Amino acid sequence: MAILNNQGGYHIAVVYIGGPDDAESLAYGARLARHQNVSITLIRFLMFGYDNARERKLDNSLIEAVRYENSTNDNFIYEERVTRDGVGLSASLRTLEDRFLGFTRCWDHSFSSSGAATES
């Protein structure tokens, strides 16, 4: 209810690495983006060297659908960042700390020795 009563607004990041859990987080962020007092930044992290074509195609279509749905929403921003591994992802996330009130994402990823994100 705080979102409905706040006059100043909220700036929330949706962190998207990929996979079904992040798709759920993306859907939640898309619903939040409909509220006039909420500004959403969708940040998609692309893992360098990881290419599961089937999963990437599904991720691309989900991202494109949300971007299209919010194409006229001035409170919706999309960013892409490339990272090599969990260490790079962590460092990139730390640079975002002061920009947002909160983050939404499912933290159910682990990283293989190659740096690729895997569902755990």
User: The domain spanning residue 93 has which CATH number?
Assistant: 3.40.50.620
- Give the model's confidence band at 56: pLDDT under 50 very low, under 70 low, under 90 confident, else very high: confident
Nearest Cα residue to 100 out of 47, 54, 39: 39
- Residue of 117 and 65 predicted with greater confidence: 65
Please indicate, yes or no, if residue 102 is contained in any of the structural domains. Answer: yes
> In this structure, are residues 12 and 103 in contact, taking their beta carbons and an 8 Å threshold?
yes
**13 within some domain:** yes
Looking at the 3D structure of the chain, how many domains does it have? 1
Task: State mean pLDDT over 35-48.
Answer: 90
Q: Given a cut of 90, is residue 82 above it in pLDDT?
A: yes
Q: Give the whole-angstrom CA distance, residue 29 versus residue 10.
A: 12
61 domain-assigned: yes
What is the structure's pLDDT at 113?
Answer: 42
Within-domain flag for 2: no
- The answer on pLDDT for 1 being more than 50 is no
CA-nearest of 76, 79, 89 to 29 is 76
Q: Are strands 76-83 and 102-104 parallel, antiparallel or unpaired?
A: unpaired
Answer whether residue 69 shows pLDDT above 50: yes
Is the pLDDT confidence value at 31 over 80? yes
pLDDT of residue 62: 94
Whole-angstrom distance, CA of residue 26 vs CA of residue 106: 10
Is 107 domain-assigned? yes
- On whether residue 1 sits in a domain, the answer given is no
Share above pLDDT 70 across residues of the chain, in percent, rounded to a whole number: 77
- Does some domain include residue 4? no
Structural domain including 103 reads 9-119
Q: Is residue 31 part of a domain?
A: yes
